[in-house]
Structure formats: structure tokens, C-alpha cells
Amino acid sequence: MPRGTYYFPEGFLWGTATAAHQVEGRNQNNTWYAWEQESGHIAQGHQSGLACDWWGGRWREDFDRAEAGFQNAHRLSVAWSRIQPAPDRWDEQALDRYREMLMGLKSRKITPMVTLHHFSEPLWVTEMGGWENEAIIDLFAVFAARTVEALKPYCDLWVTINEPNVFMFSAYIEGVFPPGKKDLKSAIRVMRNMVRAHARAYEAIHNVQPAAQVGTSLHYRGFKPASWLPTDRWVTKVYHTLFNDLFMRPLRDGVFNTILKRERIPEAIGTQDFLGINYYSTDTLRFDLLAGSNLFTRRTYPSDAELSETGFIANLPSGLVESVRWGKQFGVPMFITENGVEDSKDALRPRFILEHLHALWQILNLGGDVRGYFHWSLIDNFEWERGWTQRFGLWGLDVESQARIRRPSVDLYAEICRLNGISSEIVEKYAPAAMKTLFP
């Protein structure tokens, strides 16, 4: 059997990713806390509660775990609702706490990447119409500038908006995120405002920190037609255009293409220094007249695909290669800012990690300019409308006791980070079933 090592480029960033509302806990001033209080929104009636108690200080021990695992980067987000709890008030104590977190990363020789908007806003923003109101464009830029001014000594990698496409679909088409609408017209308005808000924030950040690297994190989804039928091919094109391209294309050429209408957003052109790609899986699409609320589309996974424990993710690493090929068109360096699988038993995760990283290594050797990989997630956290029913962490979490649970993938990822690569010995040790695929 072949032996060897797939090495990654020198200086490659190996990290994990988290998001404020999902790990901090005790934030009662944002859209998600309010959404959790209404019955029927979250699986099994779960609430975020303490989450991982990062606001109470347990980020320290989790950063220690990341350091012990040889991670040299971490992506986290800040909560707008903590930093600007009211339109006319800025909370310096909240900024101090985020400074402390970033200093904690730097002291552990871990490079921070900070996301400014990760699915939640202050309640006062919601009360004025949220992302449907154009006023949010200027408000977000002011928030970005104020936050970066405070935190710039400790960070120069900034993500303006995380997964604007997921936010648009989940909050305004599927209705599972707040405000729970199912209105395509509102969804398009929200995405247009997000493009413009990103562009305005990009300029505001560079005015405050000229050397900053500013980008977005887009959830790239692979879409494949279920058959050769024109209807299946058409809905696949629609989903790819609205989900993958709608936010990103204006940043390349200023064209906001909703299929039915093209608009120009010229101020968005060139407003990204890097592209963050969040990749989880690839869907098979079939036209369905009965699925009007889902753009007349039924989404499934291939019948032979290996699924995660709740069927939420199919293990399809070839889609990661496809995502990087797609990202090359934007002409900027890339990071894989999220990739992972929900797996409370840690049965699939080792092979999922190794097979996806092998796919990433392959595309790197074909000219993909990817500078780092952030596994989702460092620790189990509150997974939005799915609550605590899905466990994405390298480290497990007992929600009641706040105890951290060491999974085998902790050690697997640590060996990868330390080696800056994947060796046949690592694969044999943690996922021997993958040897035939990775070392044929």
C-alpha cells in the first residue's frame, strides 16, 4: 500500500470557526434570542441559554484547547447587539471583552479572523425593518468602522457578512430564520441591501485600517440536476444564480442578476480582498410544481451518498473542489472559512475531515489560491433553528454541566495542524477506511 504525506503550503492557516450567538450565551438583545422565545421556531423547543458560556469567560479554556491542538488561526464573530445595544449607545465594556478575546488568541499565537455580522442584529435594528430597510446600509458601515477602530490592534482579517445567501433564503424564502418571511420580493431587497452594506463597510474598514484584508464568507452549495429534463436543468440554474452568484457577482462586475431582472451596483466592484468559502455538501435538484415555497424545487442528496446522523449533510468532498474552482473567477485569495459535519458519535467526522482536506490539497495543486482552512466547529454550539440537535464540534459539550468532551477528532485535527499535512499514518490511525481513497 502506498505511503506518503500530502503537505500544505508553508504558512497555511489551520483553525476552527465559531459565531457569537452560538457560543457566547446570555445575549437577550438580539433577533435570535427573541425568536427562541416564540414556540415552534427551534427544534425541540431548545434555547441558546448559556450556549458555551464564552461571555462568562470560558473562551479561555477553549482557546487553550485550540492552542494545544496546534491550531494557528481562529474565526469568531462579534455581536452587533452587544457593541451597539441602542441606536445612540456604544458599549465600551463589550468592546473591552472582545479585545480581551482577541488578545487571548494573539497571546496563544493564533491568528484571529473576525466576522462582523453572523445572522443576528440588535432588536432596535429589527424594529426599524432590519435588512429590508435601506437605512441599515449606513448603520452597518458605522458599526463596522467603530468596531474595527476598537479592535484593529489585534486583527486585520475581517469578514463583513457571513453567508448572506443563507440569511436571505432562511429568513425570507424558507422562513426558518427571523423574521420568518416567505416572500421572494423581500428576499431580493434584503440581498441588494446586503451587497450595498458590504461595499460601504469595506470602504469604511479600509478608511480606519488601510492594511486590513476584508472579505465575505459565502456558503457555496453544489447543485446538480436530477435528470436531463429541461425543467430540472432550469431550477438548477435558478438556484445556482440566486444562491451562489447573486451576492458575489456584483463584487466582481457590479451586476446584480435575479434572473428576471439585472441591476447595476457599481460601488460593489472590487470590494473584497479575499473570499471565504463555507462548503458542506452538494444537492440534487428536481422541478416540483407542488414545492412553490421552495422555488418549485425538491432538493435531495444522491441515493448512494453517505449521510450524517440526522441526514443534514452528505459526505461529498468533490464539491469542495468545485467550490474553489468557482471561487477562482473572483481573482482574490480564498479561505475555507467553514467545513464540517454534525456527528455526535464522531463516527463519520474523521473520514469527512480527511477526505475534504485531501480534495482541498488536490485543488491547491491545480492552482487554487487557498490560504487556510477553518473547521466548523471548535466546540458543539447552538445550531440556529436546529438548536442542540446537531453536534458539529471537535469538542463535545454537555449543555447542562458545560463540561467539554474530548472526541477522537480533536487529536486527528491536532496531528494534521502540527504536520501541516495528511500522512498515510494519520489516515491509518483515525480513518483506515479512507486509505483506499486517499492513498490508492
Render pLDDT for 258-287 as a digit per residue (tens, 0 to 9). Answer: 998 999 999 999 999 999 999 999 999 999
**120 CB burial (10 A radius; 0-12, 13-18, 19+):** buried
Q: What does pLDDT average to over the chain?
A: 97
* CATH number assigned to the domain comprising residue 111: 3.20.20.80
- Does pLDDT of 290 surpass 90? no
- CB–CB of 392/407 below 8 Å? no
pLDDT at 1: 64
Question: Does 405 fall in a domain?
Answer: no
pLDDT at 294: 79
- Does pLDDT of 3 surpass 90? no
Of 156, 160, 265, 270, the closest CA to residue 217 belongs to 160
pLDDT at 156: 98
Question: Does 358 fall in a domain?
Answer: yes
Angle at 409 between CA 54 and CA 419, to 5 degrees: 105
pLDDT at 293: 75
Mean pLDDT of all residues in 70-97: 98
Mean pLDDT of all residues in 85-104: 98
Q: Are strands 13-17 and 274-287 parallel, antiparallel or unpaired?
A: unpaired
pLDDT at 231: 95
Of 13-22, 299-308, 371-380, minimum mean pLDDT range? 299-308
Question: Does 401 fall in a domain?
Answer: no
Lookup result for grid cell 427562541 = 36
Question: Per-residue pLDDT tens for 292-320?
Answer: 777 889 999 998 999 999 999 999 999 99
- Does pLDDT of 135 surpass 70? yes
CB atoms within 10 A of CB 28: 10
pLDDT at 139: 98
Question: Per-residue pLDDT tens for 182-226?
Answer: 999 999 999 999 999 999 999 999 999 999 999 999 999 999 999
Domain range enclosing 76: 10-393
- Does pLDDT of 429 surpass 90? yes
In eight-state DSSP terms, residue 38 is: S
Residues 6+ apart with CB under 8 A from 73: 13, 14, 15, 110, 111, 112, 113, 372, 374
Question: Does 95 fall in a domain?
Answer: yes
- Does pLDDT of 399 surpass 90? yes
- Does pLDDT of 238 surpass 80? yes
Question: Does 440 fall in a domain?
Answer: no
Question: Does 388 fall in a domain?
Answer: yes
The tally of domains found in the chain comes to: 1
Mean pLDDT of all residues in 357-374: 97
Question: Does 105 fall in a domain?
Answer: yes
Mean pLDDT of all residues in 422-435: 97
